[in-house]
Amino acid sequence: MTCEYSPVGSVNGTIPIRLLAATEDHSVRFRRIHLEDMGRVRNRTVCEIDGEEVTSAEIGKGYEVAKDNVIPISDDELADMPLPTAKAIDVVAFVDRDSIDPIRLGQTYYLEAAGEVAAKPYTLLRKALERSSKAAVAKYALRGRERLGLLSIKDNAMVLHQMHWPDEIRDPAELAPAPVELDEGEIEGALALMDTMALDDVSGFRDTYMDALEELIEAKAEGKTPTAPKTQAKRSGQVVDLMSALNESVQQAKKSRGENGEDATVHDMPTRKKTAAKKTTPKSPAKKTTAKKTPSGRKPRTA
């Protein structure tokens, strides 16, 4: 596959490249088996008219116009379709990276320079993109279809992000819930909750399901009895838990700003009337002691 690009500075040319998948699928693959004798169960290609099994050489493509009306399309006819980008990645425009809606991005590929002749033009285009805030919009053909892609940079390599065509993006308006009323306290609580859950990056996350599945397979392969993985109890009333966490985050945000935090503990006092008396004589130390002990019995924050 070659990569044809628009002029960069005063240079124009063709870059031979290879398309390599940038991601890997580590899913565990299962086979369908006959439980009685552990034999593998396979899919058979059977014609629904005569019930006979057919080979791959006997299978072609067809488009169903209507029921009982299928138009056959041969591989030769598909090969003759006009695809100007069938053997090239053609850069057709440059756009600001931030102008691309992430929902339009799909499968990601690395572009590898194919041979020494491609090294210089490949590096030239990469350097140009690296020093610019632009990304290259390109057209190319893959699996019998013309595709739209976005060229960007990762380390010392160029990356091709497959893009969905505009008519492939669904309108999310119909998916939005009915309007609800929110007060500023709830929004402030949500923002405070976001702060408490903030991370610098997401590199520390692991697929715990896959870890447990691999342990299960390893144990059974060694003839051991697999131990049940530890699972967290499912919590009910998630909306209530969330609102409780938001409310607690609001109080925490107020304390961090130096605001009076009495509202956060007043509901835990035995009586609200006595709490209102801020300046009383000898009994106030006892009330403060009670107020300090009360939070120790609360459930730990789940936010």
82-130 pLDDT, tens digit per residue, is 776 666 788 888 999 889 899 999 999 998 888 888 888 888 889 999 8
Mean pLDDT on 228-245: 59
User: Would you state the pLDDT for residue 245?
Assistant: 64
**Among the ranges given (22-31, 158-167, 253-262), the one the predictor scored with the smallest mean pLDDT:** 253-262
Please name the helix (run of DSSP H) or strand (run of DSSP E) that holds residue 217, with its range, or none.
helix 208-221
Q: Is pLDDT at 161 greater than 70 in this prediction?
A: yes
Phi-psi region of 179 (alpha: psi -120 to 50; beta: other; left: phi over 0): beta
- 237 or 186: which carries more pLDDT confidence? 186
Q: Residue 152, Cβ neighbours under 10 Å: how many?
A: 19
Alpha-carbon distance of 160 to 15, in angstroms, equals 14
User: Would you state the pLDDT for residue 157?
Assistant: 86
Say if residues 222 and 212 touch (Cβ distance below 8 Å): no
Residues sharing a CB contact under 8 Å with residue 134, sequence separation 6 or more, in sequence order: 94, 95, 96, 97
Mark 191-220 as b/e (b = at least 16 C-beta within 10 Å). Answer: ebbeeeeeeeeeeeeeeeeeebeeeeeeee
Alpha-carbon distance of 266 to 294, in angstroms, equals 10
User: Would you state the pLDDT for residue 257?
Assistant: 59
User: Would you state the pLDDT for residue 250?
Assistant: 62
C-alpha 9: how far from chain center: 36
Alpha-carbon distance of 35 to 27, in angstroms, equals 23
User: Would you state the pLDDT for residue 232?
Assistant: 58
Alpha-carbon distance of 269 to 293, in angstroms, equals 10
**Which amino acid does the sequence have at 211?**
D
User: Would you state the pLDDT for residue 254?
Assistant: 63
- Of 23-27, 49-53, 190-194, give the range with the top mean pLDDT: 49-53
Q: Is pLDDT at 176 greater than 70 in this prediction?
A: yes
What are the angstrom distances between the C-alpha of 27 and each of 24, 93, 211?
A: 9, 37, 11
User: Would you state the pLDDT for residue 186?
Assistant: 84
- 119 or 16: which carries more pLDDT confidence? 119
Dump pLDDT digits (tens) for 240-281. Answer: 466 676 666 666 666 765 655 444 433 444 444 444 444 444
Say if residues 167 and 47 touch (Cβ distance below 8 Å): no
Q: State the distance between the two ends of the chain, measured CA to CA, in whole angstroms.
A: 50
Which of 18, 15, 19 has the alpha carbon at shortest distance from 120?
15
Share of the chain above pLDDT 90, in %: 14
Say if residues 5 and 125 touch (Cβ distance below 8 Å): yes
The tokens for 95 are 């756009």
**Cα Rg of the chain, angstroms:** 31
The tokens for 165 are 């065509």
pLDDT band (50, 70, 90) for residue 45: very high
pTM over 0.85: no
**Among the ranges given (6-20, 50-64, 83-97, 243-257), the one the predictor scored with the smallest mean pLDDT:** 6-20
